[in-house]
Amino acid sequence: MEEKKKDITIYDLAQELNISPSTVSRALNDHHSIGKKTKKAVKKLAKEWGYRPNTLASSLRTNRSNTIGIMVSWINRPFISSLISGIENAARESGLNVIISQSHDNSDLEKENLQALYDSRISALIVSLAMETIDYSHFDLFSDSSIPIVFVDRIPLMNDVTKVHINNFKAAFEATEHLIKQGCKRIAHFGGARHQSIYEDRMLGYVAALKRYNLVVDDSIIIHANYLSAEEGTRITEKVLSLDNPPDGIFCANDTSAVSAIQYAKQKGVKIPEELAIIGFNDDPICEIIDPPLSSVHHPAVEMGEAAVKQAVSMLNEEAPGEPTERVLLDTHVVVRASSKRK
Amino acid sequence: MEEKKKDITIYDLAQELNISPSTVSRALNDHHSIGKKTKKAVKKLAKEWGYRPNTLASSLRTNRSNTIGIMVSWINRPFISSLISGIENAARESGLNVIISQSHDNSDLEKENLQALYDSRISALIVSLAMETIDYSHFDLFSDSSIPIVFVDRIPLMNDVTKVHINNFKAAFEATEHLIKQGCKRIAHFGGARHQSIYEDRMLGYVAALKRYNLVVDDSIIIHANYLSAEEGTRITEKVLSLDNPPDGIFCANDTSAVSAIQYAKQKGVKIPEELAIIGFNDDPICEIIDPPLSSVHHPAVEMGEAAVKQAVSMLNEEAPGEPTERVLLDTHVVVRASSKRK
DNA sequence: AAGGCTTACGCAATCGATTGCGTCTTCTTT
DNA sequence: AAAGAAGACGCAATCGATTGCGTAAGCCTT
């Protein structure tokens, strides 16, 4: 009867119990200055009446929305969607809402949508940069208001920020090393936009591995694409395979291009992995679908999302806005499949 | 100097212009009772000072959060992530935020997280049901508060709700018909949980096609799985292929199981499509990766998301809570690839 | 020129929860 | 038993925007 249409508020509870709304509020928040019996009574009634706090009112008053904003390039990419899935899980366990936004790998859209996220008073921001983004000034909006920012995977080239990512250098080193140990002598590298540290690091790890094993580093088979798409992958593969001195192995900075490489090579009658061993990066689901199955570097997407939330939460709980920037490095491992297994 | 740390409010603008906050508010919202010059002046200053409305305050007052809630099974599935991508695009264009939640195909979690969405005062809800969900009473929370609900893809068996989906019957009919026209005489069907109408309809469309072409409907090769996973797909394929009278075609209700079917069949030396033609459903990216490429029913995920937002918005704009439930049917088409092309 | 309209704007309450400060009990201490 | 301390709770302002109602000024009509 009472709750015909209206939601229950602390005023309703207060009236019923003949106490003040302030007391109800404090009781529900376990404030120390409220008596035990009062707390019990309030909580009991709240449960009975199905009281649900109005988070809008609370957020307005406290200026904390208890919402995490996510800014990613494209939601519908295997890695990203798993990342988001991890974020959503962890956030909801911490009682936080998650609001998402896409940059479509476009800096302007990234900036615009960041404003929208800011306007909705998010408590913390988790970002994986747009491919294009080189300038990071549009994030000042958040740092100036001391809203925690956690960068994930595609992180900026700055030191004083919190980051959750993998050791791309090491992962790339290991992937390349794997190819070398399978007998490859001349390994090509398909990389992404070099201003994105993840791609730069993967290239550096690759180079380091070659040097470590005394192989020649040949720039003509190290190719970077701004968007390492399927089409680019095909184009690049065609390019390196038509060289006088084609590679006998390829380390691709993502699986999409690696799949293209496999498809193109198969079409040209190049035997995989005997004549050409291939390894990708991300361990997308397609790795197990393509024939031959694609070796890849496993990238813990869900865990990264969870770790990012963990960082954000701990930053929120710190009183000091002293920005104790942290850096979480997650483990990767090479998943060996038929595309690179020669022995 | 002035905006050292605080955001600009309508009070700041009002003070500067020597008018009242109410006038500022109305001016910004283009209220008719505000003079032209006043509006101009207010908007000009607002822009100059970078005023950004506090959506929390606004939402609290109006009880409309301008946020769309999404409830899906798993974010990291090709179809779902594309759906969300479409929703996000359309929502942001309409100035709406998007908050997401996953049910993990579990009714209890669905219910729990729906509460959380409700608590955050979403303006509208877009849902694709958890696989388990049979009882829809946990959605009453929203309908009772006349919060628009739009069901997408996995829709409930109710008539008085707004739905955006495809014609599963027709799509299944066409997929099956395609196999028949390729010469299949004995077509198996791998279906999902039958209490989900999408799977029931796909099965019915399949049966209708068989009947239309005078083929025998044999229950022993119509198999339903609660979760049509890769593992189930393998298991089912093994089952039907080991029959005395194995099928010469399979219509799978999703691509995941179809891929398993291809892999299992290949492994057993069954020739695709000559001895066994296969077609899936969803047109996931893996269709083009698997060898042979998998025919499938293209499912317009992004467009469905956009259509769902469109519905939600129009429901929000209607004054009358008379729930003019609508039903949006999107087009599908069969994408023929090598897994089923015999001619 | 006076009454009636329209236009343009301000007052103050409101949404629901939070919180600094003040007050009244009740318990403890000597 | 008196006084100080601690415990328990209420008052009222506050967060920022919205909105019903009221009022003053300007315009037109006859």
Q: A184-199 b/e with 16+ CB inside 10 Å = b?
A: bebbbbbbbbeebbbb
Residues of chain A with pLDDT > 70, as a percent, come to 97
Q: Higher confidence at residue A5 or residue A153?
A: A153
Angle, alpha carbons B73-B256-B69 (nearest 5°) = 20
User: How far is Cα B161 from Cα B144, in angstroms, rounded to an integer?
Assistant: 13
Q: Can you give the distance from the CA of residue B41 to the C1' of nucleotide C12 in angstroms? A: 25
User: How far is Cα A123 from Cα A112, in angstroms, rounded to an integer?
Assistant: 18
Q: Can you give the distance from the CA of residue A76 to the C1' of nucleotide C16 in angstroms? A: 38
Q: How far is CA A247 from CA A280, A343, B25, B82, in A?
A: 15, 19, 67, 36
Both structure tokens of B45: 């200053």
Decide if B133 is inside a domain: yes
Q: Looking at the structure, do residues B77 and B195 belong to the same domain, yes or no?
A: no
Query: pLDDT tens for residues A27-54?
Result: 999 998 898 999 999 999 999 999 999 9
Given a cut of 80, is residue A322 above it in pLDDT? no
Decide if A289 is inside a domain: yes
Given a cut of 50, is residue A3 above it in pLDDT? no
Q: What is the CA radius of gyration of chain A?
A: 26
Decide if A336 is inside a domain: no
Q: How confident is the model at residue B64 (pLDDT cuts 50, 70, 90)?
A: confident
Both structure tokens of A285: 């689901």
Q: Looking at the structure, do residues A88 and A155 belong to the same domain, yes or no?
A: yes
Decide if B225 is inside a domain: yes
Which nucleotides on chain D have any atom < 7 A from a protein Cβ? 7-12, 14-20
pLDDT score of A103:
97
Q: What is the CA radius of gyration of chain B?
A: 26
Q: Can you give the distance from the CA of residue B27 to the C1' of nucleotide D23 in angstroms? A: 19
Q: How confident is the model at residue B323 (pLDDT cuts 50, 70, 90)?
A: low
pLDDT score of B317:
84
Decide if B91 is inside a domain: yes
Which nucleotides on chain C have any atom < 7 A from a protein Cβ? 7-12, 14-20
Given a cut of 90, is residue B205 above it in pLDDT? yes
Q: Looking at the structure, do residues B83 and B196 belong to the same domain, yes or no?
A: no
Q: Looking at the structure, do residues A182 and A235 belong to the same domain, yes or no?
A: yes
Decide if B280 is inside a domain: yes
Given a cut of 60, is residue B210 above it in pLDDT? yes
Q: Looking at the structure, do residues A155 and A182 belong to the same domain, yes or no?
A: no
Least confident of A102-111, B1-10, B31-40, B205-214: B1-10
Contacts of residue A113 in chain B, CB cutoff 8 Å?
92
- Does residue A343 sit at the B interface (CB-CB below 8 Å)? no
Amino acid identity of B90?
A: A
* Interface probe with B: pick from A82, A100, A113, most Cβ of B within 10 Å: A100
Angle, alpha carbons B97-B100-B106 (nearest 5°) = 160
Query: pLDDT tens for residues A282-320?
Result: 999 999 999 999 999 999 999 999 999 999 999 998 755
Q: How confident is the model at residue A326 (pLDDT cuts 50, 70, 90)?
A: confident
Q: What's the whole-number mean pLDDT along residues A327-340? A: 96
Contacts of residue A80 in chain B, CB cutoff 8 Å?
81
Decide if B89 is inside a domain: yes
pLDDT score of B2:
35
B52, closest nucleotide (Cα–C1'): D16
Q: Looking at the structure, do residues A324 and A245 belong to the same domain, yes or no?
A: no
Q: What's the whole-number mean pLDDT along residues B81-110? A: 96
User: How far is Cα A301 from Cα B241, in angstroms, rounded to an integer?
Assistant: 37
Q: How many residues does chain A have?
A: 343
* Among chain B residues, CA nearest to A256: B289
Domain containing A61 — which CATH number? 3.40.50.2300
SS3 A126: strand
DSSP secondary structure, A5-25, as one string: SSPP-HHHHHHHHTS-HHHHH
Q: For chain A, where are the E strands, in sequence order?
A: 67-72, 97-102, 124-127, 149-152, 162-166, 187-191, 222-224, 249-252, 277-279, 296-298, 327-330, 333-335
- Picking from B53, B113, B285, the nearest residue to A92 by CB comes out as B113
pLDDT score of B53:
95
pLDDT score of A21:
95
Q: How confident is the model at residue A7 (pLDDT cuts 50, 70, 90)?
A: confident
pLDDT score of A320:
56
pLDDT score of A1:
34
Given a cut of 70, is residue B3 above it in pLDDT? no
**Quick one: CA torsion of B141, B144, B148, B150, rounded to 10 degrees?**
60
Q: Are B340 and B182 in contact (CB under 8 A)?
A: yes
CB of A32 nearer than 7 A to strand C: no
CB of A26 nearer than 7 A to strand C: yes
- Does residue A74 sit at the B interface (CB-CB below 8 Å)? yes
Residues 6+ apart with CB under 8 A from B320: none
Contacts of residue A28 in chain B, CB cutoff 8 Å?
none
CB within 8 Å: A52 and B259: no
Residues of chain A with pLDDT > 90, as a percent, come to 90
pLDDT score of B39:
92
pLDDT score of A64:
87
Decide if B3 is inside a domain: no
Q: Looking at the structure, do residues B247 and B319 belong to the same domain, yes or no?
A: no
Given a cut of 80, is residue B1 above it in pLDDT? no
CB of A262 nearer than 7 A to strand D: no
Q: Are A162 and A151 in contact (CB under 8 A)?
A: yes
Q: How far is CA B51 from CA A197, B12, B42, in A?
A: 35, 9, 10
User: How far is Cα B24 from Cα B46, in angstroms, rounded to an integer?
Assistant: 9
- Does residue A211 sit at the B interface (CB-CB below 8 Å)? no
| Parent domain of B17 | 10-52
The chain-wide mean pLDDT, for chain B, equals 94
Given a cut of 90, is residue B137 above it in pLDDT? yes
SS3 A157: coil
User: How far is Cα A257 from Cα A278, in angstroms, rounded to an integer?
Assistant: 10
Q: Looking at the structure, do residues B151 and B61 belong to the same domain, yes or no?
A: yes
- Does residue A290 sit at the B interface (CB-CB below 8 Å)? yes
Q: Looking at the structure, do residues A46 and A85 belong to the same domain, yes or no?
A: no
Q: How many domains does chain B have?
A: 3
Name the minimum distance, in Å, from the CA of A213 to any CA of chain B: 34
Q: Looking at the structure, do residues B263 and B321 belong to the same domain, yes or no?
A: no
Given a cut of 70, is residue B146 above it in pLDDT? yes
The chain-wide mean pLDDT, for chain A, equals 94
Q: Looking at the structure, do residues A204 and A291 belong to the same domain, yes or no?
A: yes
Query: pLDDT tens for residues A14-31?
Result: 999 999 999 999 999 999
User: How far is Cα A244 from Cα A263, in angstroms, rounded to an integer?
Assistant: 21
User: How far is Cα A250 from Cα A222, in angstroms, rounded to an integer?
Assistant: 10
Q: Are B54 and B7 in contact (CB under 8 A)?
A: yes
Q: Looking at the structure, do residues A78 and A22 belong to the same domain, yes or no?
A: no
Predicted TM-score (pTM) of the model is 0.92
Given a cut of 60, is residue A4 above it in pLDDT? no
Q: How far is CA B285 from CA A14, A52, A86, A329, B293, in A?
A: 56, 42, 22, 30, 10
User: How far is Cα B211 from Cα B214, in angstroms, rounded to an integer?
Assistant: 5
Query: pLDDT tens for residues B75-92?
Result: 999 999 999 999 999 999
pLDDT score of A51:
95
Residues 57-116 of A with CB under 7 A from strand C: 57-58, 60-62
Q: Are A120 and A71 in contact (CB under 8 A)?
A: no
Query: pLDDT tens for residues B271-311?
Result: 999 999 999 999 999 999 999 999 999 999 999 999 999 99
Residues of chain B with pLDDT > 90, as a percent, come to 90
